[in-house]
Chain A
Amino acid sequence: MDAEALIIFFFCGVIMVGAGVLVSNLVAPRSKNDQKDEPYECGIPTQGPSMIQFKVGYYLFAILFLIFDVETIFIFPWAVVMKKVGIAAFIEIVIFFVVLGLGLMYAWKKKALKWE
């Protein structure tokens, strides 16, 4: 099979969830109650809105991840041809990792990896 066949797996997911939710909607009992519409938070009314701006620390890690994930994409083709190319590939990856390590050290010293 070719990559076009991936569409079938997409539809597998859609059908499975769709069928489950549909059957559940048909057989499940319903009863109307104001309390049921409230967010589930310890039984006391929730304070203020919940869809809020959130702590920046998470996004810092997301940015760091973005950098390192792109580096990983560079390492993928290198790893495939490493055996064939030999010593030149090894020297290049050493240089690459030194630059990458300097970047990680910089983030470390800048306390970007520290959670507060």
Chain B
Amino acid sequence: MNWLYDFTYLTQSIHESLSRNFEQGTVVLIEMILVGLAFMILFALLGLVLVYAERKVSAFFQQRLGPMRVGKWGTAQTLADVIKLLMKEPLINKNADKFLFNLAPYIIMITAFMTMAALPFAKGLQALDFDIGLLYISAVSSLGVVGILLAGWSSDNKYSLIGALRSGAQVISYELSVGLSLLTIVILTGSLQLSVIVESQANGWWIFKGHIPAVIAFIIFLIASTAETNRGPFDLAEAESELTAGFHTEYSGMKFAFFFLAEFANMFIVSALGATVFLGGWMPFHIGGWEVFNNIMDYIPPIFWFFGKVSFIIFLMMWFRWTFPRLRIDQLLTLEWKYLLPINLMNILVMAFLVLMGWYF
């Protein structure tokens, strides 16, 4: 069971056994294919689990049962949906720009995959550990908006165009707040490398060690990342009652399914980022001096800690969706530019002052 606590042994032994049997170039190729397969499987599983969780959670918030028919407690519902979507006729509008229309789902999925590459899942379980990890993630994840704008523009549908432009204005505005709230913690860590950020939280998570500025930064991060992934109450891009389905109104079948999957994958990515930077990533929960308690916490494998924290943030985001009514576009932009951005800048100054004085743990 040792490999569950430190994945470096597992990856090392796979690498060694491959090196014994193949040449250098072949080994690299096989490892790349293995990593690719692992991420594709992870993606498919995330889609299956998160769509089911979203439907169940929203059902329970409305005192319904949600999907119950397919499989025990409706657990096979998402699988049935995938098969249904696979069998749907792919439609393209007659005036649509066919090349851009087909390109949009590719762009959205590629950015989701490339962002996920840098996430630290557990000790030694990280595909690419850049020394500029945080900058890389915020840079690549912002490319997704290009796919949304392409989808809305090429559909030749007024609803799609409005949805895409709203989404564009919203995503780029809230990206500022996501970046700045993460930078508040970077002042403390002194590094952008995600594995270093996680290691620096071995004796306590930054949300506890960083005092009030860290808590404010975490709240801003939650609001801004909910908006950045186009989820309710910031789902103006696909406001059903006004715009049918926003930027993906014209998409059907599997292409629609990929937009849907990418939305959930992005939700996972921002939650994982929040968990890594604020809640200690795969680090267990420790209280200074309580040796017995800390040992019990260490007994739970890091990967469960990581996915537990991520599920907690995802649950918070689902909770937001069913608690707050949808904002108007002017309220949305006011919230970002007149409230979150000035608060964020002040918060960074306060954090810098705390670091200067050494008033943190």
Contact = CB atoms under 8 A, between A and B. Distances in A.
A101 B356 contact: no
A9 B128 CA distance: 11
A3 B337 CA distance: 35
A83 B348 contact: no
Contact of B158 (A17, A46, A93): A46
B320 interface: no
B348 A75 contact: yes
Given A1-B128, A50-B158, A58-B169, A23 B180 contact: no
A32 B264 CA distance: 33
Contacts of B183: 72, 75-76, 79
B342 A12 contact: no
Nearest to A84: B190
Contacts of B36: 8-9, 11-12, 15
B341 A51 contact: no
B127 A1 contact: yes
A9 B39 contact: yes
B171 to A, nearest CB: 10
A51 B127 CA distance: 41
B190 A81 contact: yes
A106 interface: no
Contacts of B345: 97, 100-101
Contacts of A51: 153, 156, 161
Q: Chain B at the A interface: mostly helix, strand, loop or mixed?
A: helix
A16 B168 CA distance: 25
Contacts of A89: 352
A13 B109 contact: yes
Contacts of B202: none
Interface in A72-94: 72, 75-76, 79-84, 86-87, 89-90, 93-94
A97 to B, nearest CB: 6
B287 interface: no
B250 A39 contact: yes
B278 interface: no
A114 B337 CA distance: 10
Contacts of A31: 89
A16 to B, nearest CB: 6
Given A13-B113, A17-B105, A76-B183, A28 B158 contact: no
Interface string A1-31: 1010110111111111110110111011111
B114 A9 contact: yes
B187 A79 contact: yes
A5 B128 contact: yes
A37 B255 CA distance: 17
Interface in B325-357: 329-330, 333-334, 337-338, 341-342, 345, 348-349, 352-353, 355-356
B333 to A, nearest CB: 6
B99 to A, nearest CB: 14
B353 A90 contact: yes
Given A5-B32, A17-B106, A37-B94, A93 B330 contact: no
Given A1-B128, A24-B85, 11 more contacts: A5-B32, A10-B110, A10-B114, A12-B40, A13-B106, A13-B114, A23-B254, A52-B161, A69-B179, A76-B183, A79-B187
Interface of B: 31-33, 35-36, 39-40, 43, 85-95, 102, 105-106, 109-114, 116-117, 127-128, 130, 135, 153, 155-161, 165-166, 168-169, 172-173, 175-176, 179-180, 183, 186-188, 190-192, 244, 249-250, 253-255, 257-258, 329-330, 333-334, 337-338, 341-342, 345, 348-349, 352-353, 355-356
Interface of A: 1, 3, 5-6, 8-18, 20-21, 23-25, 27-31, 36-41, 46, 50-52, 54-55, 58, 61-62, 64-65, 68-69, 72, 75-76, 79-84, 86-87, 89-90, 93-94, 97, 100-101, 104, 108, 113-115
Q: List the 7 closest A-B pairs by CB distance, nearest first.
A: A13-B110, A115-B330, A37-B94, A24-B254, A79-B186, A13-B109, A39-B157
